[in-house]
Structure 1
């Protein structure tokens, strides 16, 4: 069955065919809804972002108008794992705020119950996922979840193929930084001043400030804190290298 599902999504040649295939896969797996999506503000990303679903229209309109693709707790939970997960497990994966619980309650009120989300992390692109959901009041088809994992993987890759085949570019997370810009941002993240960074890297503090300003411009931010956050989100920097203390101390 997994091979049949893979064949279906790999051979579709239009978005309408993919939507029809996903609807059929939902029936096979015991779900009622599906959503293929990049985790971005769809209104801002436009046609570049993957967005294909069969959710109730009223819920989809509310979701997009409030840019929930960026803050959706399901999306945030998918950022801390590489395998599919039932939505009922989200509270153990990420802290759920009162706003998160309100969003989930609003979804249930529109007929969307528990679901299963398969993360899609492609280096250099905005994160995404494939979600399958049951109607409110229906149990999750537990026995079919092992098949939902590969089905979600194949489906998202099919969506990527179709989106890029239209001649567009998928939304990218990472503006490329030069090696020196990255070095400077790394030391900013480690709490160093421009003067200290200059001593460590053997350049002037004015040059450090220029590299950091140019890095901010590439990300479209004007604060160093936001710059560090963006580089962590897209993988330019990692938490482990920021807290690493294996470097030699410098002397003034």
Structure 2
């Protein structure tokens, strides 16, 4: 493990990382790895991470059907911060007939059981690092704790190699959307379903002031609708689901 960490933190290109991941995947007892953001690469920017050694025919089908966000494994990874076996996915999310069809199609294309390590960084697309067996092989002995460490280090290395997020020094002042405390307060109450009038009563300000705070928050994010504002603010960590659920 120490050798892997040393190599992966020193990787300077996707090719370096691919070689290291291939070696560690085999040592863990798996055949395939997939380190990726959960976005459609056909519409994504160049900083989107994707590195794998899956069978070509499965990748072709996956891309053709646009499964990056719909894949049940990817959706399940958004429900936990810990690695999980694919056998537990039905316990983590409700599976639709289409979901079961996707899993069956993966098996038809040579992908059997596996494990996935979530990589959900606020302000970035969700992602994961998965390790899988061929469809006709049994899973290796349980080593989820070690696999968790490998997946976490691998994804962080990929973020650095792909330059997903610039360093703090390179971010221009004000480049990221930031809300004032009062704008954030109004946004949280709006996300809880309160009207401007209700928010004004709760916060002790005028209804017009509430509308102005929401309007200015939308301008900072470059959106027009409150729903889009809430989604963007959740995505970059300005507000959390706990903020919305708290009473």
Report the number of matched residues: 240
**TM (normalized to structure 2)?**
0.85
Moved over 6 A (4+): 165-169
The corresponding residue for 1:18 is 17
Kept in 2, the 8 Å contact 1:42–1:49? The answer is yes
Task: Quote the offset at 1:110 in angstroms.
Answer: 1.0
Pairing of 1:131-210 with structure 2 (within 5 A)? 131-164=130-163, 175-210=177-212
SS in 2 for 1:95: coil
* Cα distance between partner residues in 1 of 2:23 and 2:55: 17
Whether 1:6 aligns to 2:5 is yes
Higher helix content, 1 or 2? 1
What per-residue deviation string (whole Å, max 9, x for no partner) do you get for residues 132-170 of structure 1? 11111211112443322211111111111111199899x
Kept in 1, the 8 Å contact 2:123–2:235? The answer is no
The corresponding residue for 1:105 is 104
Kept in 2, the 8 Å contact 1:42–1:67? The answer is no
5+ residue gaps in structure 1?
Answer: 246-252
Kept in 2, the 8 Å contact 1:37–1:129? The answer is yes
SS in 2 for 1:37: strand
Kept in 1, the 8 Å contact 2:124–2:235? The answer is no
Distance 1:62 1:220, change over 3 A: farther
* Cα distance between partner residues in 1 of 2:154 and 2:129: 7
5+ residue gaps in structure 2?
Answer: none
**TM (normalized to structure 1)?**
0.83
Q: CA RMSD in A?
A: 2.6
Whether 1:91 aligns to 2:90 is yes
* Cα distance between partner residues in 2 of 1:225 and 1:177: 16
